[in-house]
Structure 1
């Protein structure tokens, strides 16, 4: 995706035009985007530049402080480019892009996701993957990757259960809860938060971004555990079947073609 849009070009042009005031750029970005963290950081650069200009003057320490404030603000403005220079999708993504290929995604899982068994689980996982893709620009990069990895793991368990049901009520209950409740619930809960608040500390001391990362990590770990549990039962079931066959027929191999006829 490119940042070369008319709006972004105008913004960069204005930033270059007012280059002597670049020390105030981070503060301006934070104020416009209502990002408290950027505002507080910008105040530091703006204060340093103001002290250099209006108190120390442009000689000696004042010159160094002013130059440092301008440089630091300029570098941080580039680091914060996602706030004020948003990306846009290239024109060919309208036809081949992943997001447009799936079309608009509803904010709630489809009715099919409520169906019992494999069909409902597949519908729920498909919705989660499409929903995460549609809002990928609002998700932290690690969160987006974790969501799709979790969907892949859960999808493999769903497929295995459809092919050879384990008849394990506890595993099926946990799988349903993960697919239909936990993953969609965490994703929808995070995306309901205004973007300007995702980096703000909550009363528990965590930011929504940190909460999302931890919760998705816990879910992904549980998905791996479910898959490992399901996979470990395949050899055990085969062994159980083998023991049964050996007990029933093993001692009669010498009479395999006798059929009890004398």
Structure 2
């Protein structure tokens, strides 16, 4: 078994393509699991797309990335629609390098989009170049960045307002999660430090990077409106405002 089998590379490539094309209001989780509302079983989802800042699952999208030589047929679409119904997805993408049959296209209708992503995209894509998961128990996990929040601070001149107006400094971060264990990570682009924010391990104010800016990162467990349990990455600002900047299912 290789560290990254070809089907797994294909799934990560599809997740990256999705994240790069979506609005920042949505977050992307590769290799996600949700408990089905109908089946009551854990359902594996190649790529899960959900609302980033709230627990409303009405915009949920699931993606099934099939790396194989045959075309998607009607049975594939029917099974996928069953998965969508089970996890409450409003839309789904079936992705395959070999195309689809006419019957599959008719069965898909409006709720499912069938996409063709050729395998020749893979040679230029390497998830092993992503930063390693910082959890030492996670052997081959890599960090999948899917959000880029900015926070600003107002700084006064040393001599006070008499020396001039206040200046606004903006700090950009990358937020994401491990594509294997799901642990949240934050990259501060100012000091280049990658913070690990594990679920359930933090108390008090949370963690912050070497910049020591007046915001803190921590996690919280919340249920969405369908009752599914999600882990949320949150930032607490100096004003006391708390923002959810990333989410993933437990």
Tell me the TM-score normalised to structure 1 length: 0.27
Tell me the TM-score normalised to structure 2 length: 0.27
Higher fraction of helix: 1
Higher fraction of strand: 2
